[in-house]
Amino acid sequence: MLDGRIVLGAAGSAAGIALAISSIQEIAQVRRVRKWPSVVGHVSSVQPHVDGRGRLAVDAPGVHCAYQVNGTSYDVEVAIGGREHFWVTETDVSARYTTGKAVRVHYDPNRPSHCVLRLTPSDDAWLVLGIGALIAVLSPLFAYLQ
């Protein structure tokens, strides 16, 4: 029969590793996007999508930008970039991205309709990476010491 401490330590390590991997993926994505070309576009509309608690729906922020690449015009919903925090609200997005505002749009050269506005990971990416690594390392130790 398995000792409960082993299960607890393994579960804690798995959770820590999952947190760390999530942050590593976000940071790697931002590094890839930094190599994308950019153009100046403008915000064509802002209609933030929010959940029942008033929090921004991160996968569909509701910010639409118009821009041109090689003579082709695009007007698409753009990713703000990075993982937005769960506490970012509709008001925050509406204040930051006003209709008509000029913005630098970073687009995928292979799919110019795929673009982002920010080239930085969320503020907590490095923090979550550190916490995940710490949990992964310390969970077995704490479980063993119990």
CB neighbour list of residue 74: distance below 8 Å, 6 or more residues apart: 65, 66, 67, 68, 107, 112, 113, 115
Strand partners, 45: 64
Identify whether the C-beta of residue 133 lies closer than 8 Å to the C-beta of residue 23. no
Whether the model pTM is above 0.75: no
Residue-wise pLDDT for 2-46, tens only, equals: 677 777 788 888 888 888 888 888 778 777 888 899 999 999 988
pLDDT, one tens digit per residue, over 53-86 is: 666 655 556 788 999 999 999 998 887 654 444 4
From CA 88, how far away is CA 67, in angstroms rounded? Answer: 25
Say how far apart CA 140 and CA 146 lie, in whole Å.
Answer: 10
Written as six digits, the tokens of 7 are 């299960």
Distance CA 120, CA 107 (A): 15
